[in-house]
């Protein structure tokens, strides 16, 4: 399975590609950051993020895209920029028919480090170890993108089995018959 992880952001959008299957050593195929100038117009920044993500999709042809789920923070401007960059990543993948998965930061941290409260240094250290890298990817946004991809490689098989079980259960569930309609008087007659 080849997964492109996206740690969304307007100034720095982390991108990382991981290949492998759960239970086996994983391979990093690429890591980087799409950068936009903070003083540029919003529309130009979003186009730059789109172009950067499209280049990664063209080069690596992932089967899945994993994007960090936007969560509420105290700084509304940061949340808005993150949400906008996240939407661009989802749009780019969906336009190509690539399935998109959203993972919360705590899900990613728990999957990679064992603790949903791990700090960025712990995530970077575990990404380095799991992918057998010489040093942690810099900046932290790049390491976070790889962590998202790792999380998805490890979680997707279980999520798929759960979805299949739910669908199978729903297809075998007895259907509730519709209640019979109450008899009505013939039209045109009054009593």
**CA 54 to chain centroid:** 16
Beta pairing partners, 81 = none
By DSSP bridging, strand 2-7 and strand 100-103 are: unpaired
Contact 32, 22 (CB under 8 A): no
Q: Is 141 designated active site? A: yes
Q: Is 54 designated active site? A: no
| Paired tokens of 138 | 């810099």
- Give the relative orientation of helices 120-130 and 140-172 as an angle to the nearest 10 degrees: 80
**Residue in 54, 68, 107, 119 annotated catalytic:** 68
Catalytic residues: 7, 68, 141
């Amino acid at each position: 399975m080849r997964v492109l992880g996206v740690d969304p952001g307007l100034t720095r959008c982390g991108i990382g590609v991981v290949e492998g299957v759960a239970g086996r050593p994983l391979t990093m195929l690429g890591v980087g950051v799409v950068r936009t100038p903070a003083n540029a117009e919003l529309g130009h920044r979003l186009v730059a993020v789109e172009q950067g993500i499209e280049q990664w999709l063209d080069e690596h042809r992932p089967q899945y895209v994993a994007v960090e789920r936007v969560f509420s923070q105290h700084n509304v401007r940061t949340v808005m920029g993150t949400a906008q960059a996240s939407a661009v990543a989802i749009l780019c993948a969906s336009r190509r028919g690539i399935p998109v998965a959203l993972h919360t930061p705590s899900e990613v941290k728990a999957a990679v480090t064992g603790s949903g409260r791990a700090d960025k240094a712990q995530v970077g250290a575990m990404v380095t170890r799991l992918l057998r890298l010489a040093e942690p990817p810099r900046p932290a946004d790049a390491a976070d993108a790889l962590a998202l991809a790792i999380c998805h490689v490890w979680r997707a098989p279980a999520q798929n089995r759960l979805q299949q079980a739910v669908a199978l259960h729903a297809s075998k569930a007895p259907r509730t018959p519709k209640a019979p309609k109450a008899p009505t008087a013939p039209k045109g007659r009054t009593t």
